[in-house]
Structure 1
Amino acid sequence: MPDIAMGALAQNGAVLLARRSSKRKVHPDRWSLPGGHIEDGEDAETAMRRELMEEIGVTPEHWQFVGRFVSEAPPEASATFHVYRVDKWRGRPRLIDDEHTELRWFAATAIACEGELALPQLGEMLGNLDIPRGAESAYISKQPWRPPD
């Protein structure tokens, strides 16, 4: 079973999610955290940092392990997910490759209600993050990143 590392960029009561491309074999057109497979010889933290740089162009500077869970649905995509909350990063989140089609800030309290999550376990985990409140979600596509108001 593969291991996947994911980073939850968090600020102003919101978490950045990425919509998976419709061309993805697993969970197409669903919202998820940026992240990816942990490579041989790599630990979960290193993989999370590498994946955030590759997928959305940010370098995490301060993060905390949130937890891990196993997803067995669909069976061909069974994996163990390692989730990190990223409170400080360098760079502006942006779409870099074709793995995702959109980035969007979601209010942490609303994520559990989002019906298009790739992994339902993320809803509960992210909904319980202690993120200072103060902003509604903002959209990001291929435009330069702007923090939520």
Structure 2
Amino acid sequence: MSEQVLVVDAEPGTARPIDRPVVDVAVGVLITPDSRFLLTSRPVGKVYEGYWEFPGGKLEAGESVEQALRRELQEEIGVTIGAAHVWRDSLVDYPHALVRLHFCKVYDWTGELHMREGQQFSWECVPVRCEPILPGTVPVLEWLAQERGSASS
């Protein structure tokens, strides 16, 4: 069975490189006891600056998804996570990179939020209030809405 790919449109006339390597990214879906989740804005100077996403970052050589997520969340937002529950993967073909997002639910963390890259943060529920939303984040919001709908029925 082939993996579904979310293709994000490029500017007209922009060519995508052929045979790009896949960049693996660990992503944390931090969930509070009242079912809110953390979204952060992309920092100034990064691709999709100002778009909202779940926090995380690239896996380094030899790292597992959980190790990368633990490191990235400490570096970017100043929290130390407990268990990372591997949830879903998504392949996103952005104009600038082919990215495999490894989403993990996190229910336990310590430390205060410190946006170390100057980003903003918001505790949200579906439907979210902040915008614009990074294209790779949209399916996750749909998955969370589906789970919430099936939990209440």
Q: CA deviation at 1:114?
A: 5.8
CA-atom RMSD, angstroms?
A: 1.8
Residue pairs, 1:1-149, within 5 angstroms: 1-11=22-32, 12-24=34-46, 26-74=47-95, 76-98=96-118, 101-107=119-125, 109-111=126-128, 115-118=131-134, 119=136, 120-129=138-147
Give how far 1:83 is off: 0.6
Q: What is the CA distance between 1:19 and its match in structure 2?
A: 0.5
For the residue of structure 2 that corresponds to 1:41, the secondary structure is: coil
Structure 1 contact 94–103 (Cα < 8 Å) conserved: no
Letter in 1 for 2:124: F
Q: What's the TM-score once normalised by structure 1's chain length?
A: 0.75
Which SS does the other structure have where 1:2 is aligned?
strand
Matches of 1:93 and 1:73, distance apart in 2: 29
Of structures 1 and 2, the larger Rg is shown by: 2
| Aligned-partner Cα distance in 2 for 1:85–1:50 | 15
Structure 1 unaligned segments of length 5 or more: list them.
131-149
CA shift in 2, pair 1:70/1:44, >3 Å = same
Shift of the 129–95 alpha-carbon distance from structure 1 to 2, 3 Å rule, reads farther
Counterpart AA for 1:127: A
Shift of 1:129: 5.0
Deviations 1:79-136 (A, max 9, x none): 00001111010111221124xx2011011x214x865111222322343456xxxxxx
Q: Name the one with the larger strand percent.
A: 1
Identical-pair percentage: 29
Return the alpha-carbon distance in structure 2 between the equivalents of residues 90 and 6 of structure 1. 17
Amino acid at match of 2:63: E
Structure 1 residues 22 and 97: alpha-carbon distance in aligned structure 2, compared to 1, 3 A threshold? closer
